[in-house]
Structure 1
Amino acid sequence: MKCEWAELSDILGIPKGQIQTFSATLRTLTPEPVAHHHYDSRPLVADIIVEIDENRRISVSLSENYLPDLTIDTDLYSQAKADAEAKEYIEAQYNHAQSLIRAIQFRGETLLRIARAIVTQQHRFFSDGSNHMTPLTRRALGDKLALHPSTIGRAIAGKNLDLDGTIYPLSFFLGAGLKKGISGEISAYVVQQTIRQMIEQESPDSPLSDDTIVKKLRADGVDIARRTVAKYRGCMNIPSSYVRRKIAAAQQAPHRSPGHRNHLN
């Protein structure tokens, strides 16, 4: 297949050498990038259920799927310990089983306690929307619950929350904030969403640079550095203003048939 580098360069407004580099890179990629990963992905399952009634009251509960219903067969236990030789062993195992059940129940109670505290601190997120997320660190939450931050981290690791069918990792609700105003704070998540909205509303012909975004945020009282804007933008998979400008130019370029060429008379 013949590659018309000059024509592509003219259509896209990109130097021919750069297009050839892109082409060489594309040839190294696979159309099945996860083909070598044979493990089956597992669907997210909620451990915590958050419900909001018609009066905007919020309830938090453990999912029915969180813990199995663990019980001890007392009849079998009574029969087993009737054997004098096995009695001591059976009683020891019975005590171990009871300790295990209590530990699992305590673990569930701790998770529910943490989840309720998170919902209480982030109640505006649940009642008014994601733009109302507030900064909340593990240390601050631990201070309220008299728990060590590492205990908070272990308890919520891999745990998810269900809100109206949307699954959120519990860790999503924890994070430091940025300074806003003299003594206020704003959630990093809210700042990221603000940056996303700015970029979505920008003019395609004049995309906002990171420096411009910094100036806009600082005008609203948010204390943020340019590298932080670049970091947040990267986390949201938003390209730089230079790349966004190139993409917009390519999209606005008039369509040309493959056989079209410019001729100088």
Structure 2
Amino acid sequence: MSSPALQTRTEHRQHQTLTPRLQHAVRLLQLSSLDFAQEVQDALGKNPFLEMDEPSGETPAAGGEENGSTPSTTPEMTAAETPAASAEADAAWERENWQTTGGSSSSANSTGDSDGVMEMVAADVDLRQHLHGQINVMPLTDRDRALVGAVIESLDDDGYLRLSLEELADLAEMEPPVDDCEMGTALKLVQSLDPCGVGARSVAECLLLQLECIDDPVDRELARRIITEQLDKLAQRDIPGLAKVFDQEAAHIEAVCERIRHLDPRPGWRFGSSHVHFVVPDVIVKKFRGQWTAQLNPAVVPKVRLNRVYAELFQQHRNSKHAELAAHLQEARWTVRNVEQRFSTILLVAEAILKRQRHFLEYGPLAMKPLGLREIADEVKLHESTVSRVTNNKYMATPSGVYELKYFFSRAMPTASGGACSATAIRGVIQDMIAAENPLDPLSDAEIARQLARQGLTVARRTVTKYRQMLKVPAVERRRKHS
């Protein structure tokens, strides 16, 4: 029996550790333009060694945009021609014209011109304010107005009443106690207000409150029966099933269902502030002398620089007690370098993408080529993870629209001829097929896959289903029209 032997193995492994500066650069690189601008703005507010790099003059001279220079006020300029004097003259002209045209000059003069302008901006009115405005002009008793106000304040953002009338009556705490008849009357009064459908307690009730917009009494009654009796089939767009249940022609049922689908199931969404998420492109693509060129969007590049005066003063008088200021100075230098590195990297990657996908700009999605992160990484001499961070939440503005940089990447799909086609091009072919289909006999996913195969594109049926869902196209039965 052999005795156990002890073996000692020494392995030498190399580990790559990111320095704090690189970690800071990587974190900033993956931010969107708006988040990055906010990050730089926060750094400007906290770091005394950073300052905004603002131009010294108001109006650039001819050719100033090309050479990047912004001339300042020359000695030959008179006092009336200086930017400060010009701004004062403009302000005086505005005040004079506001007074002569009957504007609210008193408020503008008392609190400033900007306040007078802001008074003209329409304020957002939410649903409850809109309903209270209608109730306030109605001849109601104080008790009825309080009950109606309780119903209005209990509505959610969709415009629905999620509490029961019994709960509202208990919350009112009025003397004499509120009965069900009073609460029902208050609810009916709210349901008669604009927007139509507000105050409903279910989707069916919300739709029923809006049926008065259907002029034909026969269609209105059929719509009422569909909503109250077959709401599930309506949601599933089961036109043949509804036609069989109500003994009506499929075309008539489909027309009534189309009217129902035009009703608003969330009337409360019409009011309140609308939060619009704007996409600010990082790169702008234009065609110049027959060639596609990419340039950075100057609006997203922060104008930040190192305050040389503070930095030199600190270097002259620094000692061990100023460790915090030294950290601020180091962070300021990193921020300036990271701004330059971030946008140079974005432009470098965008130019590499543009070089390979120029046919997309000429002919649309059908001309999109297969493209992977590795190909761009090898071109720009960066790691794939860096390219991935650059393309995430970064946008390119083209004549055909604004696209995220990662939109231009797609895996290669083999063709019958031995070549390769991008998934984006296949989605474009599918979209064209569905747009040209017969609405009475729409194409199923299996039929689309067969037609793609006849064109030399081997795509599985489940892949067609996935691409159709990505295009937000409903299934075949939901697209079918009935004559």
TM-score in same-fold range (> 0.5): yes
Are 1:4 and 2:225 matched, yes or no?
yes
Residue by residue over 1:91-113, the C-alpha shift from the partner in whole angstroms, topping out at 9 and shown as x without a partner, is 66434422331122112111111
Q: Tell me the equivalent position of 1:30.
A: 266
Residue 71 of structure 1: SS of its match in structure 2? Answer: strand
Residue 239 of structure 1: SS of its match in structure 2? Answer: coil
Deviation at 1:48, TM superposition (A): 0.6
Q: Tell me the equivalent position of 1:154.
A: 389
Are 1:60 and 2:294 matched, yes or no?
yes
Residue 233 of structure 1: SS of its match in structure 2? Answer: helix
Deviation at 1:215, TM superposition (A): 1.1
Q: Tell me the equivalent position of 1:14.
A: 241
Deviation at 1:80, TM superposition (A): 3.9
Comparing 181-190 and 75-84, the one that deviates more: 75-84
Are 1:71 and 2:305 matched, yes or no?
yes
- Which structure carries more relative contact order (alpha carbon 8 Å, separation 6+)? 1
The 2-side partners of 1:112 and 1:80 are apart by 35
**Structure 1 residues 183, 39: CA separation in 2 closer, same or farther (over 3 Å shift)?**
same
Q: Tell me the equivalent position of 1:256.
A: none
Q: Tell me the equivalent position of 1:211.
A: 446
Q: Tell me the equivalent position of 1:123.
A: 358
The 1-side partners of 2:423 and 2:269 are apart by 32
The 2-side partners of 1:132 and 1:112 are apart by 23
**Structure 1 residues 82, 146: CA separation in 2 closer, same or farther (over 3 Å shift)?**
closer
Deviation at 1:143, TM superposition (A): 2.9
**Structure 1 residues 190, 31: CA separation in 2 closer, same or farther (over 3 Å shift)?**
farther
Deviation at 1:232, TM superposition (A): 1.0
Residue 299 of structure 2: SS of its match in structure 1? Answer: coil
Deviation at 1:71, TM superposition (A): 1.2
Q: Percent identity?
A: 26
Bigger Rg, structure 1 or 2: 2
The 1-side partners of 2:336 and 2:422 are apart by 38
Residue by residue over 1:66-101, the C-alpha shift from the partner in whole angstroms, topping out at 9 and shown as x without a partner, is 321221121233334443558964566434422331
**Structure 1 residues 39, 244: CA separation in 2 closer, same or farther (over 3 Å shift)?**
closer
The 2-side partners of 1:239 and 1:13 are apart by 17
**Structure 1 residues 205, 47: CA separation in 2 closer, same or farther (over 3 Å shift)?**
same
The 1-side partners of 2:469 and 2:319 are apart by 67
The 2-side partners of 1:92 and 1:205 are apart by 70
Residue 68 of structure 1: SS of its match in structure 2? Answer: coil
For 1:73-152, list aligned pairs within 5 A: 73-83=307-317, 85=319, 89=323, 93-152=328-387
Alignment RMSD, CA only?
A: 3.3
Q: Could you list the structure 1 runs, at least 4 aligned residues long, displaced by more than 6 angstroms after superposition.
A: 33-36
Residue 241 of structure 2: SS of its match in structure 1? Answer: coil
Does structure 2 conserve the Cα–Cα contact (< 8 Å) formed by 1:161 and 1:170?
A: yes
Are 1:195 and 2:422 matched, yes or no?
no
Q: Tell me the equivalent position of 2:465.
A: 230
Deviation at 1:167, TM superposition (A): 1.4
Comparing 74-83 and 193-202, the one that deviates more: 74-83
**Structure 1 residues 33, 187: CA separation in 2 closer, same or farther (over 3 Å shift)?**
farther
How many pairs are equivalent? 237
Paired AA for residue 140 in structure 1: E
The 2-side partners of 1:59 and 1:137 are apart by 21
Residue 413 of structure 2: SS of its match in structure 1? Answer: strand
For 1:235-246, list aligned pairs within 5 A: 235-245=470-480
The 2-side partners of 1:177 and 1:216 are apart by 19
Does structure 2 conserve the Cα–Cα contact (< 8 Å) formed by 1:81 and 1:87?
A: no
**Structure 1 residues 147, 76: CA separation in 2 closer, same or farther (over 3 Å shift)?**
closer
Residue 206 of structure 1: SS of its match in structure 2? Answer: coil
Q: Tell me the equivalent position of 1:263.
A: none
Paired AA for residue 225 in structure 2: E
TM-score (norm 2): 0.44
Q: Which runs of 5+ in 1 are unaligned?
A: 253-265
Q: Tell me the equivalent position of 2:455.
A: 220
Paired AA for residue 214 in structure 1: A
The 2-side partners of 1:56 and 1:233 are apart by 35
The 2-side partners of 1:128 and 1:229 are apart by 23
**Structure 1 residues 215, 85: CA separation in 2 closer, same or farther (over 3 Å shift)?**
closer
**Structure 1 residues 179, 97: CA separation in 2 closer, same or farther (over 3 Å shift)?**
same
Residue by residue over 1:186-232, the C-alpha shift from the partner in whole angstroms, topping out at 9 and shown as x without a partner, is 11111111111112212222222222111111111111000111111
Residue 162 of structure 1: SS of its match in structure 2? Answer: strand
The 2-side partners of 1:192 and 1:91 are apart by 54
